[in-house]
Amino acid sequence: MRLLFSALAGTLFGAGLFISGMTDTAKVQGWLDIFGDWDPTLAFVMGGAIIPMFFAWRLTEGRRPVTQAFFPPKPPVEIDRRLAFGSVLFGMGWGLSGLCPGPAVASLGYGGVMHWVFFVAMLVGMGLAPYVRAALFERAMPAE
């Protein structure tokens, strides 16, 4: 049952990314080009994700999901060096390529060779992330 719900959610998510234009690298780069030929249409996509999640977090309090024992906890709101550094890296990659992980996976079937190059680079980055995190943050942190 859990696998079925996961497949359904993933398919719906991928279709939403495709229909919204998030897999079109030119559209994403147009959204990010606020001082040039700015394309504000992806603001509706962002709002379409943020607004329902705002209410979903509130509706899940005290309830139990269908396929799990509990809902995952809310993410922390702590803004630290790791979050800022990761956000900058994510933004640089998104701006340069016009892709982020979700749309990259959703576009593998039709996006061409460059989408596969991005996907492989993303996997390599995910594999290297723990080592970069340790080198930049965990060793640099003073002992408590």
Give the start-to-end residue ranges of the domains of the chain. Answer: 2-138
- In the chain, what is the straight-line distance between the N-terminal and C-terminal CA atoms, in Å? 45
Q: Look up residue 115 and give its two tokens.
A: 């989408």
- The predicted pLDDT at position 141 comes to 52
Q: In the prediction, which pLDDT does 8 show?
A: 93
pTM of the entire structure? 0.70
Q: How confident is the model at residue 47, as a pLDDT?
A: 87
Mean pLDDT of the chain: 85
CA-CA distances (angstroms) from residue 57 to 14, 61, 66, 72, 77?
Answer: 22, 7, 16, 10, 14
What is the structure's pLDDT at 140? 54
Amino acid residing at 58: R
Instruction: Please give the pLDDT value at position 57.
Output: 82
Q: What is the DSSP string of 28-78?
A: HHHHH-TTSS--TTHHHHHHHHHHHHHHHHHHHTT---SSSSSPPPPPP--
- Kindly state the average pLDDT of the residues 18-46: 86
Res 48: pLDDT: 86
CB 14 within 8 A of CB 23: no
